[in-house]
Amino acid sequence: MAQMNMKEAIRDAMRVELKRDPNVLVFGEDVGHVGGVFRATEGLQKEFGEERVFDTPLAESAIGGMAVGLGVTGFRPVAEIQFVGFIYEALDQMVVQAARMRYRSGGRYNSPIVFRTPFGGGVKAAELHTDSLEGLLVQSPGIKVIVPSNPYDAKGLLISAIRDNDPVFFMEHLNLYHAFRDEVPEGEYTVEIGKAKVVREGKDVTILAYGLMVHTAMKAAAELEKEGVQAEVIDLRTLLPLDIDTIVESVKKTNRAIVVQEAQKTSGVAAEVIAQINEKAILHLEAPVLRVAGPDTIYPFAQIEDQWLPSPARIIANVNKVLNF
Amino acid sequence: MMSKFPFEVQTEDVQTLSVLSPEGQVVNPDMMPELSDDQLKEIMYRMVFTRAWDDRAINLGRQGRLGFYAPVSGQEASMVGSVYPLNKEDFVVPAYRDMPQIVWHGLPLYQAFLYSRGHQHGGQIPEGVNVLMPQIIIGAQILHAMGIAKGFKLRKQQNVAITYTGDGGSSEGDFYEGLNFAGAYKLPVIFFVQNNGYAITTPFSKQTAAKSIAHKSVAAGIHGMQIDGMDVLAVIKAVQIAAERGRNGEGATLIEALTYRYRPHSMADDTSKYRTKDEEAEWSVKDPLVRFGKFLESKGLWTEEDTARVKEEAKAKVNEEIKRAEQTEKMTVVGLIDTMFEVTPQHLEEQKADFQ
């Protein structure tokens, strides 16, 4: 076992897969020589050569489209989009072209592509670097969406994503890259795509979260514990496909739930989670499922982002609402 | 008008490559591609067949037996000629009008009809046929061809990818990104632009201030040429040069073929709203079939009877293939659901219930 932060775990996943499968390629803006603006790919070009780990010209749509073409010729691209807001430039290639390849060709071709992108707020970054666009992505048929919350899951899920024969968005929260270290096994292991994880057991209320919000939820749960409230916290890990079974199992036990997301409130992942809880477990609910989310505004400039983002206090306030309903 | 500042970029006017005159006479013997008599006859066969298929497709569309269909008459030299010199291993990446190229590169005709009828099997390209399905988003396919060419280069295969767009497509961001990446990575890809003068209704004069589309190769640092797209021998020559370069590691080529679509953009379009009869008459004089036919007649390789025979053959083949398309088992929503992912996830499995 080694101690790794999430960025190192992500790098290690790519190293393991580059070593294992000669069809794996890693590319994007600045990822080759320097190893990416966050150094997530540092050293990989040196180890695997310029043909397999390379810099691209600065054009996101072409990065996406090139990945699609490489997928057709049997490669397994791991393409980095430098910051999440830049995927707008490439949405056609990513959520239309890559996602439709299997369908349009009746299975003759597929897009075994991972699009890695940093996202998430609280780091005082420039505009359009820190948005949470996962809601936009899960609305698009034909792609999978993963958001890890810790180094162990990040490595195991990224290896699974690289081996997946369909396009996967792998969203890496900026505030988690260097946040803490975890025991991470050397070599290969996988974490299954589409499986949530109960990270804290409790009987009174279920808090559903992903990415950095798992940690915010855990802080809230620790505070709630002091008030005698046993909160169960579930890390969704994969947003599409969603592990509704684990969610429903928990709701059947606690009868109360809230969903926490950084993204704007309307029509997002939280709304989908609540819709599925209604479909599968409405008779087990003692209160409406509430959302703790960003307001429906443009993601703010750095000065007020800490107020904008969901906090333990807002989570606790909403937990109290569902407990006192 | 201000005179040119001496340090400004200068570009010469482009010269258009022709091999045959509209009368079918050789005007540029140095540029004559090396082709046997049988090959010359095969090229004519394909062009006549494609025209007859287009005629028949228009009627099938009117009868409701085809869905979306983009007519091709007038562009046969560009379409047939640009895939003729390719090898089977080369990849053809089409836009929506480029059905003839993928059919002549190996896609069975009934599948082209199924595609038009909105059936998924239309895009289920047989193993060993290196084509992609027609692209609807203008320019998106340019990047796929670039990526495929990158794949060929990484695997050290001496294949090329060819992709198509129109004069309108040359305004898309993906067009410039594709050219630029191909230049930066020196990729074996051919960007074949069929400039037929109109992006649906918008004339070329409103599309760009560039002197030509071929000029756009200069900025990307790739090869570029403009050719007479109504002259199949010029098309073949240009693609031969571009393909050889690609195979030799000398990078990408942009080919602008000047051509004309005789018919509307699609069955829902009315050309009288944006083109004049005079202009249409001007282009019909340059007809690719007439021109190449005259050339072959002068060599004693083709007669009017041959044209009539091929038309009959095409008609019979189209009838046979449209019947096969019509008899293909219908798609189902459950079947569609199972083509979204390699393994259908639980939520989609559950969504099948409404359709069983």
Pair A31, A107 in one domain: yes
Is A241 part of a structural domain of the chain?
Answer: yes
Is A303 part of a structural domain of the chain?
Answer: yes
Is A102's CB within 8 Å of B345's CB? no
Give me the number of domains chain A comprises.
2
Is A78 part of a structural domain of the chain?
Answer: yes
Q: Which residues, other chains included, contact A137 with Cβ-Cβ below 8 Å and sequence gap of 6+?
A: A95, A143, A145, A169, A239, A240
**What local confidence, expressed as pLDDT, does residue A250 receive?**
98
Name every chain A residue with its beta carbon within 8 A of the beta carbon of B121: 106
Pair A152, A88 in one domain: yes
What CATH number should be reported for the domain holding residue A303? 3.40.50.920
What CATH number should be reported for the domain holding residue A33? 3.40.50.970
Q: What is the mean pLDDT of chain B?
A: 96
Pair A89, A206 in one domain: no
**What local confidence, expressed as pLDDT, does residue B303 receive?**
97
Strands of B144-222 (E only): list them. Answer: 161-166, 189-195, 198-199, 202-203
How would you label A41-59 residue by residue, b for 16+ Cβ within 10 Å and e otherwise? Answer: beebbeebeeebbbbbeeb
Pair A138, A266 in one domain: no
CA B141 to CA B163: how far, in whole Å? 7
Cα A46 to Cα A7, A54, A224, A240, B178: the distances in Å are 18, 10, 49, 34, 27
Minimal C-alpha gap between A106 and chain B (Å)? 5
CA A82 to CA A55: how far, in whole Å? 12
Which chain B residues touch A if contact means CB-CB below 8 Å? 91, 120-121, 123-125, 127, 132-133, 137, 140, 142-152, 154-155, 161, 173-174, 177-178, 180-181, 184, 336, 339-342, 345-348
**What local confidence, expressed as pLDDT, does residue A41 receive?**
97
* pLDDT single digits (tens) B62-72: 999 999 999 99
Pair A39, A131 in one domain: yes
Name every chain A residue with its beta carbon within 8 A of the beta carbon of B174: 61-62, 65, 92-93
Last residue in a domain, options A136, A160, A184? A184
Pair A142, A277 in one domain: no
Last residue in a domain, options A151, A184, A217? A184
Is A65 part of a structural domain of the chain?
Answer: yes
Cβ(A247)–Cβ(A282) below 8 Å: no
Is A83 part of a structural domain of the chain?
Answer: yes
* pLDDT single digits (tens) B1-24: 567 787 888 777 889 999 999 999
Last residue in a domain, options A160, A184, A208? A184
Is A41 part of a structural domain of the chain?
Answer: yes
Q: Which residues, other chains included, contact B151 with Cβ-Cβ below 8 Å and sequence gap of 6+?
A: A69, A70, A72, A73, A74, A75
State the best of B136, B144, B180 to mutate against chain A, taking most chain A CBs within 10 Å. B144
Cβ(A185)–Cβ(A226) below 8 Å: no
**What local confidence, expressed as pLDDT, does residue B2 receive?**
61
Pair A9, A148 in one domain: yes
**What local confidence, expressed as pLDDT, does residue B1 receive?**
54
Q: pLDDT exceeding 90 applies to what percent of chain B?
A: 94
Cβ(A217)–Cβ(A207) below 8 Å: yes
Is A191 part of a structural domain of the chain?
Answer: no
Pair A9, A133 in one domain: yes
**What local confidence, expressed as pLDDT, does residue B12 receive?**
76
Pair A148, A211 in one domain: no
CA atoms within 13 A on the CB side of B58: 16
CA A209 to CA A215: how far, in whole Å? 9
Pair A113, A139 in one domain: yes
Is A62's CB within 8 Å of B177's CB? yes
Pair A20, A74 in one domain: yes
Is A189 part of a structural domain of the chain?
Answer: no
Per residue of chain A (325 residues), give pLDDT as tens. Answer: 899 999 999 999 999 999 999 999 999 999 999 999 999 999 999 999 999 999 999 999 999 999 999 999 999 999 999 999 999 999 999 999 999 999 999 999 999 999 999 999 998 888 889 999 999 999 999 999 999 999 999 999 999 999 999 999 999 999 999 999 999 999 999 999 999 999 999 999 999 999 999 999 999 999 999 999 999 999 999 999 999 999 999 999 999 999 999 999 999 999 999 999 999 999 999 999 999 999 999 999 989 999 999 999 999 999 999 999 9
* pLDDT higher than threshold 80 for residue B237: yes
* pLDDT single digits (tens) B150-189: 999 999 999 999 999 999 999 999 999 999 999 999 999 9
Q: Which domain holds residue A132?
A: 2-184
Pair A7, A103 in one domain: yes
Token pair recorded at residue B339: 């083509």
Q: Which residues of A are catalytic?
A: 129
The kind and range of the H/E element at B345 are: none
CA B117 to CA A276: how far, in whole Å? 36
Average pLDDT over residues B259-268: 91
Q: Provide the residue type at B38 as one letter.
A: D
